[in-house]
Structure 1
Amino acid sequence: MLQTVAVRGYRSLRDVVLPLRRLTVVTGANGSGKSSLYRALGLLADCGRGEVIGSLAREGGLQSVLWAGPEHTAGARRTGMTEGGVRTGPVSLQLGYAADDLGYLVDLGLPQYAGPRSLFARDPQIKREAVFAGKMMRPASTLVRRGGPYAETGAESGRGFDELTRSLPLHRSVLSEYTGALPELAAVRDRLQNWRFYDGFRVDGAAPARHPQVGTRTPVLSADGSDLGAAVQTIVEAGFDDLARAVADAFDGATVEIAVHDGLFDLQLRQPGMLRPLRCAELSDGTLRFLLWAAALLSTEPPSLMVLNEPETSLHPDLVRPLAALVTAAARQTQVVVVTHSPAMIDLLGAVPLDEDGDVLRLELYKEFGETRVDGQNLLSTPPWDWGKR
């Protein structure tokens, strides 16, 4: 499992180090930084897919997502006034995680010199990367490290580092370039690529989930829910009965079935007292949204991490309890982070222990002088973490 996630310099997350458990519930008022944390985790996953530069571009570029407050906030807390000053450190966005086995850190910044007459002077570059063992990066536990175009690996003798390359492009991650030669890089890349993010689903009349799609075996629901029918049928054929119980619990004994016409899969809901099932195009928005969440949470191939952003949005209050039961069931199979501001969802998720230790953690975010902070967190309760230096 992931033990720690760290974000530095992203939007309101000036410098946040968060502990994670099997089920972590992140809450807080509107504007406290919950969505920023969700997006930061997505950027970290994009590092494994080689897409982080493009993702930053879609957010408006690196300078659009950087922490906009002062470099240091001690003065603001002391005087109650926020004032700028001379920057002492480089422009930097840093992301990282530590897990039971390996950890990863990446540092993104702006180019010092993009080239003669280049129009890419604001194109983000990867300044540093590190893969390490243990709870935090240390020289002795670092397996691979990269500074600019130069990358090296820990020597087999345990003394120093051996050169890997001197010409690694600054827009390419070491995770994508050398995974064939170094299994630890492949392990980190595969973990990041395996993470799944669900930020609500479209349920309007033109939503992909409302229209029949060609069905193939689908162990993981797509982010837009377009393969809902195939994902549900995959769950059914795998022999899992959690889906049937969840649907019956949520909709008074209803059942789901898949109709197939010329290879096109169409989900249908059969309810007691009705002469025919309702096709996906006929379902109410809330009903379809719940079925999409159920298909996502009951994946037959659970990812190593599943991140859910406000899953209770636009659902009737009566559906929050069965939805929370689905989240709890998913957390018994994989690690889950839920971002929510629903008191009912928070209470329900915290009421059911996942194991003997009741491995559920609640993190409440709040803003202080524009900076996202964790309620109750101090120097002693903050997980160990070292960002290192360029």
Structure 2
Amino acid sequence: MMTRLAIAGYRSIRDMTVDLAPLTIVTGPNGSGKSSLYRSLRLLSDVAQGRLIASLAQEGGLSSVLWAGPEKISADMRSGRVPVQGTRRSDPIALKLGFSGADFGYAVDLGLPVPGSGFANDPEIKVEAMWNGELLGRANLFAERRGPLVTLRTSETGEWRRSPVDLSSFDTMVTHAADPRDGLELLLMRERMRNWRFYDALRTDQTAPARRPQVTTYTPVLASDGSDLTAAIATIHAIGDGAALDNAVDDAFAGSSIAFTASGPNHVTIGMRQPGMLRPLGASELSDGTLRYLLLVAALLSPRPPELMVLNEPEANLHPSLLPALARLLLASANTCQIIVVSHSGALIDALGASEQARSIALAKDMGETRVSGQRFGPDWRWPKR
């Protein structure tokens, strides 16, 4: 499980480290930096997919995503005695992302390209590090990348050796130096990171694919847009926890249950039986909120839970009366995978109560900088040195 997340130099986040729980709710007003924290998790996931540099390019390149304020904000700047202004830099310009847990930790440091490279907006990966445990140190470091060179610590003797692969500035050691013989730990971490799951585009509009008839093939993982909802729900009933699914639906809509209706030779439409109705309501008839809740149920009760699931504003389109049921579903699902929820719903946080599983992180802006409310100093963290 990821227990710490560290971000530095990304958009409104100058330098932040937070503790994570089995279920972490990130909240705050509009513009407080919730989206920046969410995007940083997506970028870390892109490391394992080999898409980190391409994803940053889609955001406009390194110059568009770097922290826009001064390297340090002095007490005089905060008090207004002096204007906010840049000073002589003591550290190189960098975007840093990292996470750690009880078993592994990883960090990447991206910087400006070499002058004259011809790709002025293309960031370069300067340093990467992977280690055992929560906090980086020389004794627990087992993989390090500096420029094109990757060195690995052998598990048999503890000696350092050079990887046979020299990396380009846009390649990560997680994808290019991971193999069963020369980088087993990198390989294991890469596969775990590739299994992270993000839901931020679940469609519920009237033309949403989830409302159309579908072929019900085994679908243990709901698509990121929810397009295969019918197949995912059917798969949970077939090989997953069908009782938990039925309970989650009944918890939100008392007396209701899932229904499947044949639609053509090979297609099925999902719907809902409701008290007092003579027939099930099909997906095309369900409200946006009802359909969204079913999408969240399908995602959270996946028969193949990921190591990490990240939900962006799951409460959208949900009536406040559904939030207690969603909170109970989140808490139950946090027993099988770690969940991070980015939300501005105070009602959802209240519904979670004081559960030991859950942790709330409230973000706020201070001099344009995203900070954790009430946190003066974050948990210990060490970035690898360039």
TM-score by length of 1: 0.93
| Percent of residue pairs identical | 48
Which residue of 2 is the match for residue 367 of structure 1? Answer: 365
Question: Take 1:114 and 1:18, find their aligned partners in 2: how far apart are those partners?
Answer: 38
Matched, 1:385 2:381: yes
Q: CA RMSD in A?
A: 1.8
Distance 1:384 1:160, change over 3 A: farther
Q: CA deviation at 1:91?
A: 2.4
Q: CA deviation at 1:72?
A: 1.0
Q: CA deviation at 1:156?
A: 5.2
Which residue of 2 is the match for residue 161 of structure 1? Answer: 160
Which residue of 2 is the match for residue 198 of structure 1? Answer: 199
Given residue 251 of structure 2, which amino acid in structure 1 is its aligned partner? Answer: D
Question: Take 2:123 and 2:154, find their aligned partners in 1: how far apart are those partners?
Answer: 30
Distance 1:363 1:205, change over 3 A: same
Given residue 224 of structure 1, which amino acid in structure 2 is its aligned partner? Answer: D
Q: Say if 2:165 and 2:177, in contact at 8 Å, map to a contact too.
A: no
Q: CA deviation at 1:213?
A: 2.7
Aligned pairs for 1:246-257 within 5 A: 246-257=248-259
Q: CA deviation at 1:96?
A: 0.5
Aligned pairs for 1:191-340 within 5 A: 191-238=192-239, 239-260=241-262, 261-340=264-343
Question: Take 2:149 and 2:38, find their aligned partners in 1: how far apart are those partners?
Answer: 31
Unmatched tracts of structure 2, length 5 or more? none
Distance 1:244 1:155, change over 3 A: closer
Which residue of 1 is the match for residue 11 of structure 2? Answer: 11
Given residue 226 of structure 2, which amino acid in structure 1 is its aligned partner? Answer: G
From 94, 112, 120, the equivalent of 1:110 is 112
Question: Take 1:290 and 1:371, find their aligned partners in 2: how far apart are those partners?
Answer: 34
Q: CA deviation at 1:90?
A: 2.3
Q: Say if 1:149 and 1:165, in contact at 8 Å, map to a contact too.
A: no
Which residue of 2 is the match for residue 176 of structure 1? Answer: 175
Paired residues in the alignment total 380
Question: Take 1:62 and 1:231, find their aligned partners in 2: how far apart are those partners?
Answer: 38
Q: CA deviation at 1:158?
A: 6.4
Q: CA deviation at 1:88?
A: 3.5
Deviations 1:269-325 (A, max 9, x none): 111221221111121111111111111111111111111112111211111111111
Q: CA deviation at 1:166?
A: 6.4
Question: Take 1:384 and 1:292, find their aligned partners in 2: how far apart are those partners?
Answer: 37
Which residue of 2 is the match for residue 100 of structure 1? Answer: 102
Distance 1:110 1:255, change over 3 A: same
Which SS does the other structure have where 2:163 is aligned?
strand
Question: Take 2:220 and 2:74, find their aligned partners in 1: how far apart are those partners?
Answer: 49
Given residue 109 of structure 1, which amino acid in structure 2 is its aligned partner? Answer: G
Question: Take 1:224 and 1:2, find their aligned partners in 2: how far apart are those partners?
Answer: 25
Given residue 259 of structure 2, which amino acid in structure 1 is its aligned partner? Answer: E
Question: Take 1:333 and 1:38, find their aligned partners in 2: how far apart are those partners?
Answer: 21
Q: CA deviation at 1:184?
A: 0.5
Question: Take 2:321 and 2:10, find their aligned partners in 1: how far apart are those partners?
Answer: 36
Question: Take 2:251 and 2:82, find their aligned partners in 1: how far apart are those partners?
Answer: 52
Given residue 206 of structure 2, which amino acid in structure 1 is its aligned partner? Answer: G
Given residue 304 of structure 1, which amino acid in structure 2 is its aligned partner? Answer: E
Question: Take 1:373 and 1:154, find their aligned partners in 2: how far apart are those partners?
Answer: 36
Q: CA deviation at 1:94?
A: 0.7
Deviations 1:334-375 (A, max 9, x none): 111112221211011134x3xxxx232111111111111112
Question: Take 1:367 and 1:236, find their aligned partners in 2: how far apart are those partners?
Answer: 45
Q: Say if 1:28 and 1:364, in contact at 8 Å, map to a contact too.
A: yes
Question: Take 2:24 and 2:137, find their aligned partners in 1: how far apart are those partners?
Answer: 26
Deviations 1:183-234 (A, max 9, x none): 1101211121111111252211221211223332111111100010011011
Q: Say if 2:150 and 2:177, in contact at 8 Å, map to a contact too.
A: no
TM-score by length of 2: 0.93
Q: CA deviation at 1:142?
A: 0.7
Which SS does the other structure have where 1:213 is aligned?
coil
Unmatched tracts of structure 1, length 5 or more? none
Which SS does the other structure have where 2:109 is aligned?
strand
Q: Say if 1:152 and 1:165, in contact at 8 Å, map to a contact too.
A: no
Q: Say if 2:324 and 2:352, in contact at 8 Å, map to a contact too.
A: no
